[in-house]
Structure 1
Amino acid sequence: MAVRKRLSPEESRSHALAAARALLIEAGPQAVTLKAVAARIGRTHANLLHHFGSASGLQKALAEHLARAVCETIREAVHASRAGLGSAREVVDLAFDAFDREGAGALTSWMLLTGNEDALDPIIGTIHDLVDELAAGEAEAPGCEQRIHRDTLMLVLMALGDALIGSALAKSLGLPRDAARERATALLEASLAAREAA
Structure 2
Amino acid sequence: MPLSVADKPRRRRRSPDEARREAISSARDLLLTQGPSAVTLTSVAREIGVTHANLIHHFGSVAGLQSAVMASMTADLSDALDAAIVRLRTDDGAPLEVVNAVFAAFSTGGAGRLAAWIAMSGDLSHLEPVRAAVRNLVAAIKEKIGASDGQADGVIGSAVLFIALSAFGDALIGDPLRDMLGQDADAGRQVVAGLLARMLADYSAL
TM-score bin (small chain) = 0.7 to 0.9
In structure 2, the partner of 1:133 is 136
Pair 1:122-2:126 in alignment: yes
Pair 1:87-2:94 in alignment: yes
C-alpha contact (below 8 Å) 1:19/1:40 kept by paired residues: yes
Q: Distance in 1 between matches of 2:132 and 2:163?
A: 16
Post-superposition shift, 1:147? Answer: 3.3
Measured against aligned partners, the alpha-carbon deviations of 1:158-187 in whole angstroms (never above 9, x if no partner) come to: 111111121222222333332211111112
C-alpha contact (below 8 Å) 2:81/2:102 kept by paired residues: yes
In structure 2, the partner of 1:190 is 198
Matches within 5 A, 1:47-58: 47-58=54-65
| SS state at 1:176 partner | coil
In structure 1, the partner of 2:172 is 164
C-alpha contact (below 8 Å) 2:106/2:167 kept by paired residues: yes
Measured against aligned partners, the alpha-carbon deviations of 1:40-67 in whole angstroms (never above 9, x if no partner) come to: 2232222222333332332222122111
Q: Distance in 2 between matches of 1:39 and 1:101?
A: 24
In structure 2, the partner of 1:20 is 27
Matches within 5 A, 1:26-105: 26-84=33-91, 87-105=94-112
Q: 1:49 is matched by which residue type in structure 2?
A: I
| SS state at 2:136 partner | helix
Would you say how many aligned residue pairs link Structure 1 and Structure 2?
A: 193
Q: What's the Cα RMSD here?
A: 2.7
C-alpha contact (below 8 Å) 2:77/2:130 kept by paired residues: no
TM-score (norm 2): 0.78
Tell me: CA distance 1:131–1:108, structure 2 relative to 1, closer, same or farther (3 Å): closer
C-alpha contact (below 8 Å) 2:112/2:172 kept by paired residues: yes
Q: Distance in 1 between matches of 2:126 and 2:160?
A: 16
* 23-32 or 154-163, which deviates more: 23-32
Structure 1 unaligned blocks of 5 or more: none
Q: Distance in 2 between matches of 1:18 and 1:86?
A: 34
TM-score (norm 1): 0.81
C-alpha contact (below 8 Å) 2:78/2:130 kept by paired residues: yes
C-alpha contact (below 8 Å) 1:77/1:86 kept by paired residues: no
Report the identity percentage: 39
Tell me: CA distance 1:3–1:182, structure 2 relative to 1, closer, same or farther (3 Å): closer
Tell me: CA distance 1:136–1:180, structure 2 relative to 1, closer, same or farther (3 Å): closer
In structure 1, the partner of 2:6 is none
C-alpha contact (below 8 Å) 1:56/1:116 kept by paired residues: no
| SS state at 1:36 partner | helix
Tell me: CA distance 1:7–1:79, structure 2 relative to 1, closer, same or farther (3 Å): same
Q: Distance in 1 between matches of 2:154 and 2:88?
A: 20
Structure 1 runs (4+) greater than 4 angstroms displaced: none
